[in-house]
Amino acid sequence: MRAFLLGWALVWAMGGAQERPIQWLQRAQQAESSLAVAGVRVTELQVGRSVRRLEERFWRQGARAERIEILAPPERRGEVLLFRGGRWVAFRPDAKEAFELPDNLPQGAPLIQKAIELTQAGVLQAELLPESTQLGRDCAVVRLSRPRLPQGRSSPPSKVPHFPASISLWIDKETGLILRYETSMHRNAPVLRMEMTRLELNPRLSPDLFTLPQGVVVRPLGGEYKSVEEAQRDVSFPIRVPSYLPTGAKLERVLVRRRPPDNAPIVILLYQTPNARFSVFQARQKGEFDPQRPGRRPDRLNMRFWRDGDYSFGIVGNLPRAEIEKIAASLSRSAL
């Protein structure tokens, strides 16, 4: 009996000492916010069977500043992403322009802080997976996911924030740093993975690392315009407009987006008809134009992407395919 009670006490003590998922998240948030680190990491974006891989060298001063230099693939080697003063900019060291990046999903400490808030509110559920190792370091593995609702029930919009559907985090047990993560926005949707391949703790980081080169001007990454004429002043190539449009189609607005750091603009013409919406993409640049295509097709969404000389085009919308083909043909003829 005495041996049984002693064994039960040991099990209880060990179980009580084990940290809960929310405690690991809090440790990670503290580490990502305060520690100075440097190293190399590999980031992969998987869309279906396609995988895009980036190798990056990084320096980070807690949540205050970060510098990322792309090492691979070769065509992107030398690009720099810089975070300071609450904003990200992209540039090449030999260029005189940097481009401010739009706000996306939070990363690092802000992402973990948001995860903690949503977990405490019951919007996300957190669970501990079996422990693992990364870079020879022991890691606690925490998975965050949205609770599955009973069949036939849907969560109200206020309960579905713009946050990944699932995240798995490999948290260094000694430092609290996130050494690896995997995330997806929706089930069966693109998956983003990050894994550190080299880590340096408490490096000496020069302030110059987080400063733009002298004379570099920061410009917005794009703009929104009411007409093609207004947008044309911000684009170096002639914007092509379809000579054929479905009955009742009207141009709502024009977007110009740039892909840093080469300043190559992408023009998006947004149209609306009484029964449909569609977008016309165009770019003039070397290589293939490969915008991120929708992972699902609501309302029977149709699309077409093609090249015409040094122009690349795309049409996406809930129009009949025959109408999309007519618009495509009129764009190709518009240069003649």
The confidence band for 186, taking pLDDT boundaries of 50, 70 and 90, is: low
Domains of the chain: 19-201 (2.50.20.10), 222-333 (3.30.200.100)
The confidence band for 227, taking pLDDT boundaries of 50, 70 and 90, is: very high
Contacts for 227-230: CB closer than 8 Å, 24+ residues apart: 227/251, 227/254, 228/254, 228/269, 230/254
Residue whose entry in the numeric block shows the structure tokens 């030999």: 94
d(CA 297, CA 299): 7
288-293 average pLDDT score = 49
Which residue would you say has higher pLDDT here, 165 or 241?
241
Give residue 236's pLDDT.
83
125-151 average pLDDT score = 88
pLDDT beyond 80 at 238: yes
Give residue 13's pLDDT.
37
Give residue 25's pLDDT.
96
- Report pLDDT digits (tens) over 62-116: 999 999 999 999 988 999 999 988 888 988 888 888 888 766 555 777 888 888 9
Read off the tokens for 244: 């054929």
pLDDT beyond 60 at 263: yes
Give residue 218's pLDDT.
86
Give residue 162's pLDDT.
65
pLDDT beyond 60 at 51: yes
Which residue would you say has higher pLDDT here, 186 or 97?
97
Of 76, 28, 85, 15, residue with least CA distance to 259: 76
Give residue 100's pLDDT.
83
